[in-house]
Structure 1
Amino acid sequence: MKPLHLVFGAISLAALTVSLVPAHAQGVLKIGEINSYKAQPAFLEPYKKGMELAVEEINAKGGVNGRKIELVTRDDNGNPGDTVRMAEELVSREKVEMLTGAFLSNTGLALADFAKQKKFFYLAGEPLTDKMTWQGGNRYTFRLRPGTYMQAAMLVPEAAKLKKKRWAIVYPNYEYGQSATAAFKQLLKAAQPDVEFVAEQATPLGKVDAGSVVQALADAKPDAIFNVLFAADLSKFVREGNTRGLFKGREVVSVLTGEPEYLDPLKDEAPDGWIVTGYPWYSIKTPEHDAWVKAYQAKFKDYPRLGSVVGYSMIHSAAAGIAKAGSTDTEKLITAFRGLELMSPFGKISYRAEDHQSTMGAYVGRTKNEGGKGVMVNYTYLDGADARFQPTADAVKKSRSND
């Protein structure tokens, strides 16, 4: 097993070492981070651990440009208004030099708009709506995770192979759910023109009435279901669907369900055979991932979730970008991030110059209930750099009006 610093040093940490210059040795490098910690703990508790590990690794190497990183975090309560207030406080009072974070798409968009108005650099880790980097994307905002279009594009080939004509959809009725649904419908219709969408259930985030939703979907008699629910809403939906037999004889395609944050709590209720995006950490065998898991487990005595990977990779991205820029000046950071390359637990990623979207990919496979525990099987890692999973350059150019 290669030491962790050798595996991850190939690109990002090498850049940090080159940039250690005495001129910036004074003081700490404050990075502001805002997230919905109380509202979404399943994902964000592991995410915070991932950030902590990244900061520890970077600071152990001398920091960035001779300055140790200090994270200054705030909880936005899952509320876009609170998000903007927290951002203003971090920039004006705490004097942070970069903004990062957001989990929910609506709070992420609030931060992106703040960054645009204030001309301040923002690195989004998690919010998945396509508006972060495409429709309405702006020059000050970059994103790490693959968005809803990318994840739909990764799932649709498998959905089309099912040759199911009648589809029902269930999604949380806010920006992420709406964006994921629109992308899936657009891409599946292009791949299978005769497809019909016979029912849609748009549920309040965190307040799904699982009984009525399951009954409405069953009444539509679909051949297959596209599910966008996550966290507690997903658990309620699966439990009620199992009880009422909704999934018997029906294929289900589901965004995010393979993530340990959401699959593990289902325990013996975990569904068999769903096509999902997720994170099968227990069976990925690459040098960079082996090193990552070893370091994470050594520090936290726990296994990583996808949130862990996102938090870790976001902070390493921030450090690599600052090191490349040699500065935290917003315009220099934008220039540095366009085309920035670094290693992640998933392998090499880069930030595309044309839309500020990273090429981090996703694992696509099937769920399996294995001894009363949900796992992912028959999975493949789909690289976000693959042109199949991105809109065309012309489409990106037309959609981005804020550059």
Structure 2
Amino acid sequence: MAKFSTIRWLALGAALALGAPSIQAQQAPIKLGELNSYARQAAFTVPYRNGWQLALDEINAKGGVLGRKLEIVSREDGATTGDATRVADELVSREGVSLLFGSFLSNVGVAMADFANQKKIVYIAAEPLTDAITMAQGNRYTFRIRPNNTMQVGMLVDQAKASGAKRWAIVAPNYEYGQSAAQAFKRLIQERVPGAEIVVEQYPALGKIEAGATVSALEQAKPEGIFNVLFGPDLTQFVREGNTRGLFEGATVLSLLTGEPEWLLPLKDEVPAGWTVTGYPWDQITEPKHKAFVDAYRAKFNDTPRLGSLLGYMVVYMIRDTLERAGSADTEAVIKALEDAKFDTVIGPVTMRGIDNQSTMGAWVGRLALKGSTGGMTDWTYKDGTSFMPTEAEVKAVRKD
């Protein structure tokens, strides 16, 4: 009898062993494709990669999603539309990823939205800001996490009316993001500030500003207010030249993104105190979930978080929640799970609005101040994005889907 039982158990074991490959296949990781401008925009994208890596490690340490680990296949997008779409195609056709996320520059984001629509694969824009991604070039496969240009500009323009400034200058990088932000400002300042006019516009090439000539052109127009969209090395040179020549003295300055640590830290003690900015005062946010994120990030990377860090962390957790709701990584199931979905993030509730696939994530708005040898934000408030989103009528007027 014992001999028979032993033989039977051996046979059963052999049968299970033969079936093991199919069992293992069912437990294969869910692959996500990620691409970004790590070489050209490292100040933002490297902290962003740290953020998604932290989220990925935390999720997999707790068992992954739907009983499977998450795997992120990451690629450099070359900061060009051609390289980005080529890499995206490789991620889909060769790596077999279930969805795509990432990208930094707005022109690349627009190209990725078009790619997603053509290839019928979900693309989640973590960082690009141009309205086009969820408006004129929007489609059912493309979703965005950050508040778009219209939303962030709207938060700043709210501060402009009280200043009394009517004569405005615009300085913005000459590519999709800068042009989109400038158009949003022109529209909103004239809607909300009666009598406001744009007296001068400067659009230096991205990464190639001639700060002296730019500041001189603004000075000659004698604006009462300046709307700035520059970031990175362009911003540093502009601020230095503007400070030297007294451009900002007595002027109201509204500035997109300048309060984000990525762009604020390089200014050091040259920070232009008093500017009204959108940013990320990470060290002053007291919500427990956010503090836990900051603590985990600092422990893992021995560095302080940037806004990119927060976005990388948020997007992967939002993908996890979406996959759990969808019950699979099937594209149609993922789209259904994303539309009008509510997420409990480390900065509070965020909804992915179904009519345009734009999230309600907001931004922190405050003033720049010199704190010791570096700059920071003061008198800030978190503006929920819901109140600043394009109306349903505006969305329907421009979207083609």
**Shared fold by TM > 0.5?**
yes
Which of structures 1 and 2 has the bigger CA Rg?
2
CA shift, 1:23, in A, is 10
The residue that corresponds to 2:199 in the other structure is: 198
Please give the residue correspondences for 1:372-387 in structure 2 after superposition, counting only pairs within 5 Å: 372-386=373-387
Contact 1:39–1:77 under 8 Å retained in 2: yes
**What is the aligned-residue identity percentage?**
55
Please give the residue correspondences for 1:223-262 in structure 2 after superposition, counting only pairs within 5 Å: 223-262=224-263
Amino acid aligned to 2:69: K
RMSD of the TM alignment (CA)?
Answer: 1.2
Name the stretch that deviates more: 206-215 or 325-334: 325-334
CA shift, 1:25, in A, is 4.6
CA shift, 1:320, in A, is 1.1
The residue that corresponds to 1:391 in the other structure is: 390
Instruction: Find the residue that maps to 1:172 and give its secondary structure.
Output: coil
Please give the residue correspondences for 1:119-198 in structure 2 after superposition, counting only pairs within 5 Å: 119-198=120-199
The residue that corresponds to 2:65 in the other structure is: 64
Please give the residue correspondences for 1:341-360 in structure 2 after superposition, counting only pairs within 5 Å: 341-360=342-361
Instruction: Find the residue that maps to 1:363 and give its secondary structure.
Output: strand
User: TM-score scaled by structure 1?
Assistant: 0.92
Unaligned regions of 5+ residues in structure 1, if any?
Answer: 1-21
CA shift, 1:343, in A, is 2.2
Change (3 A) 1:23 1:393: farther
Contact 2:113–2:137 under 8 Å retained in 1: no
Distance 2:343 2:390 in 1: 23
Distance 2:274 2:26 in 1: 54
The residue that corresponds to 2:269 in the other structure is: 268
Deviation string 1:49-88 (CA, Å, 9 cap, x unpaired) is 0000110111111111111111111111110000000001
CA shift, 1:214, in A, is 0.5
Amino acid aligned to 2:360: T
Instruction: Find the residue that maps to 2:136 and give its secondary structure.
Output: coil
Distance 2:357 2:196 in 1: 33
Contact 2:110–2:137 under 8 Å retained in 1: no
Amino acid aligned to 1:119: K
The residue that corresponds to 2:399 in the other structure is: 400
Name the stretch that deviates more: 267-276 or 390-399: 390-399
CA shift, 1:166, in A, is 0.5
Amino acid aligned to 1:392: T
Contact 2:102–2:125 under 8 Å retained in 1: yes
Aligned length: 379
The residue that corresponds to 2:220 in the other structure is: 219
Distance 1:178 1:74 in 2: 27
Contact 2:30–2:329 under 8 Å retained in 1: no
Distance 1:35 1:173 in 2: 20
Distance 1:61 1:354 in 2: 34
Structure 1 residue runs of 4 or more that deviate by more than 4 Å after TM superposition? 22-25
CA shift, 1:231, in A, is 0.7
Contact 1:25–1:65 under 8 Å retained in 2: no
CA shift, 1:344, in A, is 2.1
Instruction: Find the residue that maps to 2:358 and give its secondary structure.
Output: coil
CA shift, 1:372, in A, is 2.2
Greater RCO structure (CA 8 Å; 6+ sep): 1
Unaligned regions of 5+ residues in structure 2, if any?
Answer: 1-22
Instruction: Find the residue that maps to 1:385 and give its secondary structure.
Output: helix
CA shift, 1:250, in A, is 1.1
